Chains A and B, each alone.
Chain A
């Protein structure tokens, strides 16, 4: 573990990403205390520019709602959607990929054709359709994102499992009488952990972007303030009130950037042999 931190902290961008991510999580957690009022409450005159009023330092939107409060509460929604949808898509993708890779043959064929079915539809269009069918809500958004983003997980897992399956320690496990599911669970999956963690960190970032895009198009949950929704609502007035779209845009940019940096750092730390640091002995 200390070895891991040493390698991770060598990647300066990753450390910076981790700090940004920590601050955003902190903001999301503290939002109810920092901004006890509902982010939907109209608190000042509309179109209040930023840095003019000390209480509402980021200004207000078209309806006079506090932009800072919206950002803080939105952080919670964005992170929640990102994390939960990633977990759900891992829960779909990992078993499918592992089974396909381990058993091969007809199992592999069936599962991979099924996966390709999802990959052959443009994923964002599919997400839009799914959310539209199920009525926009946090749950339907999470489900939609998960459904469109699991195929890469399954493909990654399948490849990893196929290569691990031919290793001697898996043969040894077969010989020692372990059953297939024990072998997948105890011998193979622990060894796929690092690529999964790396992929997952990038998937959280992608999910946040999809959620924002859905909200921007008006397909967000009408009851929660999210970054995408704020940008969507502010886009018609972008020439009069740039800040309404600008600040949530920056928030999304920073979060996604931070997640990607952390993912890259994890990749270097977990796969030391693949890192780009000089020639090894």
Chain B
């Protein structure tokens, strides 16, 4: 069995063969799932074999498109209509799930195998109260009386650690936070005491501190209920936190299998090594402090505030949300400033105010001494070319109906540059960001996420800005691609002497790229300092919590120690 491209053999560590006594609860045997004709490869999943024993957490790790979610869906009998199982067996307690009728599967789903998803908002019914959604699980299987169901729902909400179960039960999903919704999803999954829990990237959409709590919760519940857990993730940090057994997948094939320690500490396959190496270490490098410019900082932000007004209905009172409260900082030429915080901390609002996609409610933004916070009309338009932005979502940030060349050239054209010259410049920029000049003639949908983000960077560079604001610019990308894009940004920054404002929720990314870091919590700046001081000697409790919550920190320290030994 060869892997695509490298011809390298998969690495099966002895730990994946030496397993607990007794039968595995789930045994996947040589499972192959065929993709429809015309797809980029024949099999979404190619001869996958995994055993999951009761009381064991098996992580399936891989980048997008590796077939990891498809494997989980096959286990739940939730494959899309277009793909088919070509061969193999999925045994649940000795029974082949692939041979079961639709009705028999209904009974297994929820009762014996349960699943939690990445995005709890879309997985919950927005129009049903939380309690009713949990009760529905019992109802679907015809269990318990109405009263008992309600009581069980409450018990479950308490078990998953919701602070006020009574209130949570009466809430609608939108009234809960992301972490609370994920807890509700877990409560639903646990309702019928399943033997197997499938968790498909359950913490990817969550903040680090919430992620740490949810991982703890899954670990605890798995122990008390002696469940088998199939945990799907792309994040080796999460793997280090939670896994007993690890299976690494690439292009639908298994490239490495073993215990968590075996795979993390002595990865045998080059792809696994690449993935582990691509994780930003969370250790900040020493960087020379930027020389203070004689004329003062390039950008100076003073008491920046942003307040949103939300009307609630026709006669309701207007509600004020202070997204940003009197935040001040400065940015030197050629410096990278990280703005770090959880969702709702106001970090994105700061970014959008800086580029003036939003109007600040108060404070000053001085660019070379000129206040750009209140610019309007033509003066604002003229300023725009000095501060550009790279967006988070590489899919929605490029116009699907415009060719790449035009996307990049339209800025200079809007500022009166000759069309031919602008297109020529666009081709040069494409090469600069590591793409082919011929990409200019193609449409965005022909590119991958990482390539699209490069196009977005080229667009930002087209106007020769002095400052680039990158709002979660690598959050939507796979780790290995993430590392490449970060390197590109770093390199471009040096070539053009750019200043970078790097907004992220991922402290590991911030540690890798930033000179100084500003930590934000609920709209306020709580700590600011050089990246090294922030990571090695955090002063504020909130910063310390954030750093401690980074998944896999303990294990990473061990890996680092091993590597240096």
Contacts and interface: CB of A to CB of B under 8 A. Distances in A.
Interface in A157-193: 167-169, 171-179, 182, 186-187, 190-191, 193
Given A178-B410, A187-B399, A190-B402, A172 B82 contact: no
Interface string B457-487: 0010011000000000000000000000000
B397 A175 contact: no
Nearest to A191: B401
Nearest to A281: B80
Given A174-B357, A176-B463, A167 B83 contact: no
Interface in B448-464: 456, 459, 462-463
B80 A280 contact: yes
Contacts of A278: 80-82
Interface in B412-428: 414-415
A176 B462 contact: yes
Residue from the set A175, A178, A187, A190 with the largest chain B CB neighbour count within 10 Å: A175
A176 B411 contact: yes
Interface string B390-408: 0111001111111000010
Given A190-B401, A190-B402, A171 B385 contact: no
B384 A177 contact: yes
Interface residues of A, number: 22
Contacts of B82: 278-281
B396 A168 contact: yes
Interface string B130-161: 00000000000000000000000000000000
A167 B400 CA distance: 11
Residue from the set B389, B401, B456, B463 with the largest chain A CB neighbour count within 10 Å: B401
Contacts of B407: 169
Contacts of B384: 174-177
Given A168-B391, A171-B357, A172-B389, A177 B415 contact: yes
Contacts of A281: 80, 82-83
Contacts of B388: 175-176
B414 A172 contact: no
B355 interface: yes
Nearest to A277: B81
Contact of A175 (B382, B389, B399, B401): B389
Contacts of B462: 176
A98 to B, nearest CB: 15
B464 to A, nearest CB: 12
Residue from the set B382, B396, B398, B400 with the largest chain A CB neighbour count within 10 Å: B396
B292 interface: no
Contacts of B80: 278-281
Nearest to A171: B357
Residue from the set A190, A191, A281 with the largest chain B CB neighbour count within 10 Å: A281
Contacts of B411: 176-178
A281 B357 CA distance: 35
A177 B355 CA distance: 12
A278 B83 CA distance: 11
A173 B391 CA distance: 12
Interface in A190-206: 190-191, 193
Nearest to A169: B399
Nearest to B444: A169
A99 B385 CA distance: 26
Contacts of A176: 384-385, 388, 410-411, 414, 459, 462-463
A186 B407 CA distance: 10
A174 B397 CA distance: 12
Contacts of A167: 396-397
A191 B400 contact: yes
A186 B83 contact: no
Contacts of B401: 190-191, 193
B43 to A, nearest CB: 14
Interface in B372-395: 381-382, 384-385, 387-389, 391-393
A7 to B, nearest CB: 13
B456 to A, nearest CB: 8
Contact of B393 (A168, A173, A279): A168
A182 B414 contact: yes
B376 to A, nearest CB: 14
Contacts of B385: 176-177
Contacts of B387: 175
A171 B81 contact: no
Interface of B: 80-83, 355, 357, 381-382, 384-385, 387-389, 391-393, 396-402, 407, 410-411, 414-415, 456, 459, 462-463
5 contacts: A167-B397, A173-B410, A177-B384, A177-B414, A190-B399
Given A169-B397, A179-B414, A278-B80, 16 more contacts: A168-B392, A171-B357, A172-B459, A173-B399, A174-B357, A175-B387, A176-B462, A177-B381, A177-B384, A187-B399, A193-B401, A278-B81, A279-B81, A279-B82, A281-B82, A281-B83
Interface of A: 167-169, 171-179, 182, 186-187, 190-191, 193, 278-281
The 9 closest A-B pairs by CB, nearest first: A176-B411, A168-B397, A278-B81, A190-B401, A281-B80, A178-B414, A168-B391, A169-B399, A177-B414
